[in-house]
Each structure stands twice: as structure tokens, then as C-alpha cells.
Structure 1
């Protein structure tokens, strides 16, 4: 199946209705960002990656459709670099809540909310918890945690023999994914490494408290120069597999068997 078979925004309403009547009762909502990604990637990077991930997750689940990606996100730590956008947390929360309200009215029974941008994760967990209380008849999954994503990035580094810390914001992993799905948004001649090192809790706290400029003038966490499109294909498959596992676990815990 092709992307337009899963993307709600590319369907007409009778098609959506037919798919829901055929058992597609789950909607996938990705929250992304519009923010700087160094010298070599466009500011749409997280949105592009988020949509591609959502499509793969929908395909692997078998009964899910993908909502329009929510962006901008929570990107205060990137604001010092021009073009980056950030929402107030209450506005961001309101957009997600309104998405869910609309899809509930349309008849969706399960909602998956995941993020393709690190700055959204903590808020998403709070939002999902609150949504479960507001809409007890809907089943929710917040999919992969930030720490879970970081573990996948570590796995990526080890598999391809990269230095620890090569795969942060705009680094080898994101650049590889973009080379795979949107090479026109990548200028490898301008790929420049930024902060390279373990993403410890202290480093993350410094990032979110002082902004990315507190770690790097380039705006990159990691080293994009070694990126390869085939590595991006590998990571997208790995990421979507892990999201599917997390979603199925969440829905089983909520008392629903999730079919493949």
C-alpha cells in the first residue's frame, strides 16, 4: 500500500468512512516540530520523519490511519536559531486535545500519540494521561518514551560502529533517515558536527534549560557526516517496530487485543 492509503489528509471523507467501517478504528497522531537542524537539514526535518514513521506504524498495525502531523511543537531550546518555531504548552496541549475530540466524534476507538521531536515527549506523557481521564471510552497509547528512543539511537551507533553521541539532533541517524526519505531536504556539503558525547541526564537538563546553543553553535548533537540512506531505512524500520511493540503492549494492558 502507498502513503495515501494511510494519510487522512489525503483522503476524501467517504474513503475514510469506508476504511473505518472495514475495521480501521485507530488513529495515529504524531507531534513534530519546525526548528533548526544545523547547516545541512531543513527545518521541516522532524515533520517529514514523523509522517514517514506514522505511515510505517500504520502499515504494520494493519488497522490504523495517520492524522495530519502536528507542528510546530515545543522547541524553546532551538529558538535562538532563526526560523525555529515553538508553541506555548497550553496551545500545544489544546491542539492535541482538539484532534482527539474530533476523531472521537468520528468514531475512532483507539488513539496513538507519539513524537518525532525530543522536546515534546514529557508533555505528551502528561497529555495522554489526562486524555485517558477525559475520554475513558477511548484507548490511548503514548508509544515510545524518550529514553526508549535514545536506546534505539545507541543501538544504531553500535551497529554501524559510530562514536557514542553521533546520533543526536541532526546527527548521523536523522541525517540518514532524511537521505532515505527526503534527500532533496539534505545538503551534505554543509554537514557539520556539533556536540558529540553521551546524552546523560545532566546533558539533557543543560540542553532544555539553556538551549542547544549552550552545547553547540552549529545546532547539531552528533556527527552527520557519516550518514547513509540505507542506514536511514534500517532505523525507520527499527523505530516503527518498537513503536508497534509499545502500542500493542499498551492496548493489551487496557484490555484490548490488537490485531496485526
Structure 2
């Protein structure tokens, strides 16, 4: 979009800006490094198509450090992360720039679990900064998986659901990627692993033996394009319903 068109669409704060935030992180040998960017970006675009007066900003692709018990950790080549303070300040600066353009409402769609608290900090910091300058802003922060119902979970995991914590690189993300970017998934390389089991604590430095050599925390082999479409349809409809 050229700057003149952007100015016309956003003048007077008449658009909500959707900002996808993800991460570059291994998702097993069967999938590309960027599902955490591509999935929230796709959802953002579909929400903007169905909702009123929304524009999708280019995604922030680098996220907070991959954690062993939710993303497999930083042991794998390609996983490329930033510190929490770096992410917080970067998101704050981007949102502040949009405020300076005249925008007043924002939707952050998170695609990487580890980002959550730092996005909260950035949002809180921006609201307080704007309040100090008599500017009223509103920021919605959401993670797409929070819009998946128990009914859909039962359909996607008919043999039982082991929980979101071990879904990294598993059926959920693989199914969505098969639906939106099948060219970035090679199911012939999918590794069938038992769901990860972790002790009730973290340890530093992290212990690589806690994670399967594939990097996934559960098996992706039962992922299908149809499951991905079911998940996406529900997430998109739910987000539109709450934010339109």
C-alpha cells in the first residue's frame, strides 16, 4: 500500500490496526521455521476481510526465546529469538509510530506462546504513555488458540488431547499449515513421538535431553488439511465476533 492510500484509510483513527506477532522457531523436520508468523498473519488477513475498518500491519517475525517446555528450547539451528526487553521495546515503538499516524485502536494477534507477557508489557506501557499525553488508545491482545472450543478439540484429537503445552509442532500447527501453506510441510519427514513429559520446574542452563531429537513436543502424524480448516474457521469467526 502506498502512503497516500494508507493516510486516507487511517485518517482520524477510523481503522483498527491488526499487528501479528510471531517467532522464527523450529517446528520439527517436517515443517518450515515460520508457522508462528504465517498463522497469525493469515488469521489477521481473514479477520480484516470479514470485519469492519481493519488493516493488517506487516508481522513482527522475531519473538521471545523458545522455552523447552513450550517450544523445544534454543538448541535447534534456525530457532532465532530476541530477549523479552527487546521484544517489548520493539512492539512499543511500532505501536507508538502507528499512534503518531493517528491510529487509536490495535489488535495484537500472537502466534508464539512465549511472547505473551512481553506483549502485555508493551501494551500497558503504550497506554500509560498515551494517557500522559491525553491520547486515548485501546489495545486488544489475543492468542488465536484461545478461540478453539472443546468441541473442536474433540474432533481434532479424537484419541484424546494431551494439552496445549505439548502441541508445539504437533497436530494443531501442522494441520493449520497444511491448510494455508501445504508447500511448507513435508509429512514424509514427520516424526511420530510420544507427548513430552516434563518435571514440574525449569532448569538453567536448559537440558536438551528433555526434548525429543525431532524438536516436536507431540506427534504431528495425524495432522490433516481438514483439521486445519476446522480450527481456522472457528478462530477467525470467534475473533470477528468479539472485535467487530
Deviation at 1:109, TM superposition (A): 1.4
Q: Name the structure 2 match of 1:8.
A: none
* Cα distance in 2, alignment partners of residues 212 and 125 from structure 1: 29
Picking from 33, 42, 55, the partner of 1:52 is 42
2:37 & 2:229 partners in 1: Cα distance? 17
Aligned residue pair count? 232
Please state whether the residue corresponding to 1:70 is helix, strand or coil.
Answer: coil
2:186 aligns with 187
Unaligned runs of 5+ in 2: 68-72
Q: How does 1:59-208 map to 2 (within 5 A)?
A: 59-77=49-67, 78-136=73-131, 137-144=136-143, 149=145, 152=148, 155-160=151-156, 161-165=158-162, 168-196=167-195, 206=202
Bigger share in helix = 1
CA–CA distance in 2 between the matches of 1:207 and 1:40? 28
Query: What's the TM-score once normalised by structure 1's chain length?
Result: 0.78
| CA contact 1:26–1:63 (8 Å) conserved in 2 | yes
Change (3 A) 1:118 1:55: same
Alignment partner for residue 237 of structure 2, among 241, 247, 250? Answer: 241
Deviates more, 1:68-77 or 1:22-31: 22-31
CA gap of 1:119–1:26, structure 2 versus 1, over 3 A, is same
Q: Per-residue CA shift, 1:195-234, capped at 9, x if unaligned?
A: 5169x9x76x649984775243321122211111121111
Shift in Å at residue 24 of structure 1?
Answer: 4.5
For residue 221 of structure 2, the aligned residue among 219, 225, 232 is 225
The alpha-carbon deviation at position 59 of structure 1 amounts to 2.2
After superposition, the Cα gap between the structure-2 partners of 1:229 and 1:42, relative to the gap in structure 1 and judged at 3 Å, is same
Inter-partner Cα distance in structure 1 for 2:180 and 2:21: 18
1:114, distance to aligned residue in structure 2 (A): 2.3
User: Deviation string for 1:118-143 (max 9, x for gaps)?
Assistant: 11112222322222211231111113
Secondary structure of 2:55's counterpart equals: strand
Question: What secondary structure is seen at the aligned counterpart in 2 of 1:97?
Answer: helix
Q: 1:23 to 1:79 in 2, by over 3 A?
A: same
Alignment-derived partner of residue 30 in structure 1: 20
Q: In the TM superposition, what is the alpha-carbon distance from 1:179 to its structure 2 partner?
A: 0.7
Gaps of 5+ in 1: 1-10, 249-259
Q: Is the 8 A contact 1:193 1:218 kept in 2?
A: no
TM-score of the pair, normalised by structure 2: 0.83
CA-to-aligned-CA distance 1:55-74 (integer Å, 9 cap, x gap): 12222322111111102101
Superposed CA RMSD: 2.8
